[in-house]
Amino acid sequence: MPSQPPFSARVYAVVQGIPAGKVMTYQDVAEEAGSSRASRAVGTAMKNNPDLSRIPCHRVVGSDGKMRGYAAGEGEVTKMQKLKAEGVAFAGEKVNLQTSRWKGA
């Protein structure tokens, strides 16, 4: 049963594995997905986003902990509010990666 799951499917799996109150950078997700430099490919997958309600893409932020985009709600604004609501430590308009960065389990 030779099936080659697209990279995006891997990305979705990783993102779904991020617990509430934690975040990952696009690069981190890319690494977990199998490519340490596919940060752009991760963005492509997110934008494809087959299930917004199933994939917590709001837990994925840029390398500086800042949100780069969001297709749902009010966009970046809603994204930040969601993260705050889940207990993510914020540093101004950015996420405090020093405490809220999810590093595997």
Partner DNA sequence: CATTTGACAGGAA
Partner DNA sequence: CTTCCTGCCAAAT
> 78 is written with which tokens?
């809603």
> 102 is written with which tokens?
């999810």
**Segment 64 to 83, residues that bind DNA, using CB under 7 A:** 64, 68-72
Stretch that binds DNA, among 47-55, 80-88, 89-97 (CB under 7 A): 47-55
Stretch that binds DNA, among 42-50, 81-89, 94-102 (CB under 7 A): 42-50
Strand 90-91 with 94-95, pairing: antiparallel
- Residue 7 as a binder of DNA (CB under 7 A): the answer is yes
Minimum distance of DNA from residue 10's CB (angstroms): 8
Helix (H) or strand (E) holding 90: strand 90-91
Give, as one character, the DSSP assignment of residue 72.
S
Which SS3 state, helix, strand or coil, does residue 102 take?
coil
Give, as one character, the DSSP assignment of residue 99.
H
Minimum distance of DNA from residue 7's CB (angstroms): 3
List 29, 57, 61, 67, catalytic entry: 57
Minimum distance of DNA from residue 42's CB (angstroms): 6
**Residues forming the active site:** 57
